[in-house]
Amino acid sequence: MTATLPERQRRRADLRRVGGPVPPVEPEVVRPTGARTREDVYTLAGAAAASLATTWIFYAQVFPFSGAIGFTVCWYAVFVGYYALLTSLAHPRPVVVDRVVATAVIGAPTLVGVALASVVVMTLLKGLPALTHLTFFTQDMSGVQPDADFDSGGIVHAIIGTLIEVAIAIGIALPLGVATAVYMSEVGGRTARLVRTVVEAMTALPSIVAGLFIYTIFLVRFGFPASGLVAGLALAVMALPIMARAAYVVLGVVPGGLREASYALGATQWQTVWRVVLPTARPGLATALILGIARAVGETAPVLLTSGASTFTNVNPFKDPMNSLPLFIYTAITSGVPQQAGRAYGAAAVLLVLVLTLFVVARLVAGGRKSR
Amino acid sequence: MSDETAVLDPVDLPTDPAPDTPRQVVRRRSLQDLLFVHSVRGAGLLVLVVTGSIGVFLGISSVPTLQHYGLSYFTEFRWIPSQDVIGISGALIGTVEVALLALCFAIPLSLLTALFITDWAPARLRPTLVLLVDMMAAVPGIIFGLWVLFLIQPHAAHVAHWLSTYFGWIPFFHVRTDVDYPIWNQLPGYPSYAGSAFIAAIAVTMMIFPMATSVMREVFGQAPVGEKEAALALGATRWAMVRTVVLPFGRSGVIGGTMLALGRALGETISVVLVLQLSFERKPYVLENGNATISATIAAFFKEADAAQLSALLTAGFVLFGMTLLVNSIAAGIVSRSRGSDVTDL
C-alpha cells in the first residue's frame, strides 16, 4: 500500500530533521481520464468520410438535388446515422445515445459560430470598397449624388452624429442610472422598492416605443424640430432603465460586510458609498455601463423616429436634423442605390468595429475578473 | 455561539439578570449624508416619474383610439387610415408568429450551446466561448438585418420553396403561389418567398440567441458539482449525467431564459423592418412573402400619421409594451426563483 501524499511529506520532513538520506521525490502523474481511444477517433473519422461520400453520391449524383444548405443538412443527418451505427457495433446503447447527443451539442455552437463569423466577414468584405477610400471618413454626403462613386461622399456626418447623440444619452442616463441604483441598493425603503419595480418593468420597453414616446411628446406636442438633442433624449429614455438595473445588480454584489465594517469605523453613509461601495463595484459597474453604451450606439429604432437623416455635418444638437451611423445604414440600404448600399456596408463595418471596441474596453476595465 | 454557551457552567450564570435595555442609538445624519440621501432620492424619484410617465402616457394616449374603434381595434386586421379602418390583429398575429418562430430556432441552439459551454467544452476554452456569446449580444440589430437581407435570404428562400413544395399541405408551410413553378425560372430574389415571417425570424434569432444562452449557461453552471460527479462515478455517460442532474436543476433557467428571449423578440424592431415585407393580413403562412409586426407598423407609419393615427400607433405600442412587460415579469419571477436575488443584467 502506497502512502498518501501528506504522509509522505511528513516522512520526508522527519528524515530531513534527523539528517537521514532524503529519498528523491516521485513525481505525481495525473492519469488522463477523458482521453479518446484510437477506436473513438477511427469511428468518428470513418463516419465523417462515409457520410460525406454517401451524401455526395446520392445528393449530387443520383437525385437531382442542389443547394449548399440541403447538402449540409443531409450530410449531418447521414453522419449521425453512420456514427450511431458504428458506435453500436462496439458499445452499449447509452454510449450510442451519448455520442448522438454530443454531435448535436457540438453542432449547434458550430452553426452559431459560423453564422457570427459570416456576419463579421460579410460586413467587412462588403464594406471594403467604401472603406478603402479615405474620403469615406473625411467627407459627408452634402451635395453628393447618392449614386456617386466612393471617391466623393462619406459618413463623417453620421460618425459625428452618433458620437454627439450617444454623448447626450449617456450624459443623462449614466448619472441618473447610477444615482438611482445607489438609491435602490444603499438607501432603500418603500419608495425605493417602488422605483425598483417601475425600473425593472421599464427594461421591457421596446426601443421603438421609447422612440415613439419621445417623438409624440417633443416633435408632435411641443413642435420641436427633429434634432440630435431629441434623438439623444430618446436613446436616454431607452438606456436609463437598462443602466439603472445593471448598476443595481452590480451594487448588490458588494459584500454587506464591507458596508458594516465601514459604518463600524464611524463612517457616514456618504463616505461609505463613495469610499467603499462604489470603488468595490467599480469594475463591474464600468462593464455594465459600457455595455449599456454599446447598446445605445447600435440602436436604430429611437433615432429613426427622432433625429431626421441629414446629409450634412451638423455639430449642433439643438438645431437641424443630425444623422447617425445606424440611421445612415438604414436609409442608405433602403434607398436601393447600389453605391449607397456599398456605403451602408462601410458604415456597418465602422459601427461594428466601434461597438466591438467598446466591448473589448469593457472587458479590459473588468480586468482579470472571472467572466460571469 | 453555541460552543461558548456549552462551555459555560450554569452556576456561573447570574441568577437574576438585569433586564436588557437597548442603548438609545441616535441616528443623526450629517449634512453631507442628508445631501447625499436627498440627492439620490431625487434622482430615483425623477427616474420613477420619467419612466412611469411613459407607461401612463401610452395608456392615456390609447384612450381616444379605443373609444373610436372600440373592440374592432383588436379584431380588425387591415390598416387603412384613409378609410378609417385601423386594427392591429394582423400585426399582433405577425408579431407573435415572428417571435415564436425565432424562439423555435433560438432556444434549441441556445440550450445546446449553453450545455456545450458548461459541460462539453474544455475548461480553458470556456471563458473565450462566454466572451464570444457576450460579444454577439453587443452586435447591433441592423447589422444582423443586413446579414439576413444579403447573405441568408437567397438561401432561406430556397428552403422556403422546398418546404412549401413538399409540406405545403401543412397550413404553416403553405404559400399561396404556384409552388410547382421551377425556382430557377422565378424573378431574382424569389418575390413570393422573400420578406416572410420565417426570414425575419432568422434575424430575430440572432438577436435573442445570446441573451437566452447566457441565462441558461449561468443556471447550468450552478448545477451542484457533487451530484454531477456522483452521476459520473456511478458510470453515467456525459449525456446521462446532464439529463439526470444538469437539466432538472436548470429547468427554471431554461424556461426563464426562453421567456426573456420572447420578451425581446416581441419588441425587436429594426432587423424585422429591414427584412419583412409589410402587409396586413391574418394568415398562418409564415413562409409567404409579407407579414406585419407591431414594431414594423410603428416604424412604417409614424411619419405620415396625423393625430388620430398617432394615437392608434401609440395604442399599438402600448399593447406591445403590455405584452413584453407581462412576459418579462413572468421570466424574472421564474429566473429569480431559481437562483435567489442574483438577477441577470440583460
With the C-alpha atoms ordered B241, B247, B249, B253, is the resulting torsion angle positive or negative? positive
**A2: in domain:** no
Q: How close are the terminal C-alpha atoms of chain B, in Å?
A: 42
B183 close to B194: Cβ distance less than 8 angstroms: no
CB contact under 8 A, B131 and A371: yes
**A253: in domain:** yes
Q: A120-175 pLDDT, tens per residue?
A: 999 999 989 888 888 888 888 777 777 777 778 788 888 888 999 999 999 999 99
Residues A190 and A83 in one domain: no
Could you say which of A105, A118, A213 has the minimum Cβ distance to residue B115? A105
Residues A285 and A220 in one domain: yes
Residues A121 and A206 in one domain: no
Residues A233 and A105 in one domain: no
**A70: in domain:** yes
Q: Is the confidence at residue A31, as pLDDT, over 60?
A: yes
Q: What is the mean pLDDT of residues A63-86?
A: 85
CA distance A16 to chain B (A): 39
Percent of residues, chain A, with pLDDT higher than 90: 31
Provide φ and ψ at B80, rounded to 5°.
-125, 85
Q: A283-293 pLDDT, tens per residue?
A: 888 878 887 88
Residues A124 and A215 in one domain: no
Residues A310 and A194 in one domain: yes
Long-range contacts of A48-57 (CB under 8 A, 24+ apart): A48/A79, A50/A82, A51/A75, A51/A78, A51/A79, A51/A81, A51/A82, A51/A83, A52/A79, A54/A78, A54/A82
Residues A203 and A351 in one domain: yes
CA distance A71 to chain B (A): 12
- Compare B37 and A336 and report the one with higher pLDDT: B37
Q: Is the confidence at residue A14, as pLDDT, over 80?
A: no
**A22: in domain:** no
Domain spans in chain B, listed from the N-terminal domain onward: 90-338
**A13: in domain:** no
d(CA A259, CA A278): 11
Using an 8 Å CB-CB cutoff, list chain B residues near A217: 57
- Locus of grid cell 399541405: B169
Q: Is the confidence at residue A224, as pLDDT, over 90?
A: no
Torsion of CA B176, B178, B181, B185, to 10 degrees: -60
How far out from the chain centre does Cα A129 lie?
27
Residues A110 and A225 in one domain: no
Write down which residue in A88, A115, A131 finishes a domain: A131
Using an 8 Å CB-CB cutoff, list chain B residues near A205: 51, 54, 267, 321, 324
The total of structural domains in chain A comes to 2
Cell, residue B214: 447566457
A217 close to A248: Cβ distance less than 8 angstroms: no
User: What CATH number is given to the structural domain containing A258?
Assistant: 1.10.3720.10
Could you say which of B137, B140, B345 has the minimum Cβ distance to residue A288? B345
Query: Which pLDDT belongs to residue B79?
Result: 82
Instruction: Provide the residue range defining the domain that includes A175.
Output: 156-366
Residues A67 and A204 in one domain: no
Query: Which pLDDT belongs to residue A276?
Result: 92
CA distance A319 to chain B (A): 19
Q: Is the confidence at residue A203, as pLDDT, over 60?
A: yes
Q: Is the confidence at residue A179, as pLDDT, over 90?
A: yes
Alpha helices for A254-299 (secondary structure H)? 256-264, 269-271, 278-298
CB contact under 8 A, B55 and A250: no
Render each residue's pLDDT in chain B as its tens digit; 346 residues.
Answer: 444 445 555 556 566 667 788 888 777 778 888 889 889 999 999 999 988 888 899 999 888 888 888 888 888 888 887 788 888 888 899 999 999 999 999 999 999 999 999 999 988 899 889 889 988 988 999 999 999 988 888 888 888 888 888 887 887 777 777 666 655 555 555 677 888 899 999 999 999 999 899 889 888 988 888 999 999 999 899 999 999 999 988 888 898 889 889 988 998 888 898 888 888 888 888 888 888 889 999 988 888 888 888 888 999 999 999 999 999 888 888 877 765 434 343 3
Say yes or no: A352 contacts chain B, CB-CB below 8 A.
yes
**A125: in domain:** yes
Query: Which pLDDT belongs to residue A71?
Result: 85
CB contact under 8 A, A206 and B238: no
Residues A172 and A126 in one domain: no
For the structural domain made of B90-338, what CATH number should be given?
Answer: 1.10.3720.10
Residues A126 and A178 in one domain: no
Q: Is the ipTM of this complex over 0.90?
A: no
CB contact under 8 A, A345 and B61: no
b/e code B213-248 from CB counts within 10 Å (16+ = b): bbbbbbbbbbbeeeebeebeeeebbbbbbbbbbbbe
Across A197-206, A294-303, B21-30, B94-103, the highest mean pLDDT is recorded for B94-103
Residues A75 and A178 in one domain: no
Say yes or no: A298 contacts chain B, CB-CB below 8 A.
yes
